Amino acid sequence: MAPVRDMAKVEPGESLRAGLRAATMAAHDLLDHAMQAASGWQTRADYARFLALQHAARVPLEAWLLANAPADLVPPAQTPLLARDLAALGVALPPSSPPFDPLQTLSKPPSAGAFHVKHACVGAAWVLAGSALGNKAIAKQVARIGGGEWPVAFLGDDMMMAFWQGLRARIERPAAPEEAEGATRAAEAVFAHFLAIAEHGEVAGSAAENLPA
């Protein structure tokens, strides 16, 4: 696994995006593996579990961003798309996961005065929007495995890709150290939130078990 880099040591001239990617690379790998283990998308039932897990994790993240972020940092809501896909598969919505609070979720508290919500919003929005890149790759596999029959409102969400393009202008430039630290800590917290649900969340398991493979 790649070493985790501490964003207190931002490389000179490095963009915020490059710093966020470097600082969370190991967390992303861990989450990717945990999600493949918890659900994957090899069968229709796996795919339903994958969508249910995404729904459970994203409800509190979307709520936190809506309550805390300026309008231009609120990504388009994807939980309605997930709900639509789950309904098309005949699976009930999973129970909500606990509310998201970046300061509660972090194992290592940020240094004093270095965490401002406005910076945290950039990091949280980056994780949700950046995940659309991975979703594009997953969508290709899902189209192949499901023979083009499985619903893909979430994986094929064009609104999130449009939001992502807008966000790039903001993050593909160097950031002040306090912005980089706040954004990084929040991004780490979002990955930790997802990981906790992937590792411990029993989402819609029983409903998905009843689906034909």
Query: Does residue number 170 form part of the binding site for ligand HEM (CB under 6 A)?
Result: no
Nearer to ligand HEM, 113 or 144 (CB): 144
Taking alpha carbons only, the member of 10, 195, 33 closest to residue 106 is: 195
Tokens representing residue 34 in the block: 């945990």
CA dist 3 → 13, 58, 131 (Å): 21, 27, 21
> Is residue 199 a contact point for ligand HEM (CB under 6 A)?
no
From 10, 16, 17, 27, residue interacting with ligand HEM (rule: CB under 6 A): 17
Is residue 59 classed as helix, strand or coil in its secondary structure? Answer: helix
Instruction: Assess contact for 81 and 38: CB atoms under 8 A.
Output: no
- Least distance between ligand HEM and beta carbon 113 (Å): 26
Residue closer to ligand HEM, measured from CB, 17 or 119: 17
Task: Please say which residue, 19 or 112, places its beta carbon nearer to ligand HEM.
Answer: 19
What number of chain residues touch ligand HEM (CB under 6 A)? Answer: 15
Helices assigned H by DSSP within the chain: 16-38, 44-68, 79-89, 102-105, 117-145, 158-171, 177-200, 205-209
Eight-state DSSP code of residue 41: S
Q: Which of residues 80-139 bind ligand HEM (CB under 6 A)?
A: 126-127, 130-131, 133-134, 137-138
194 binds ligand HEM (CB under 6 A): yes
Interacting residues with ligand HEM (CB under 6 A): 17, 21, 28, 31-32, 35, 126-127, 130-131, 133-134, 137-138, 194
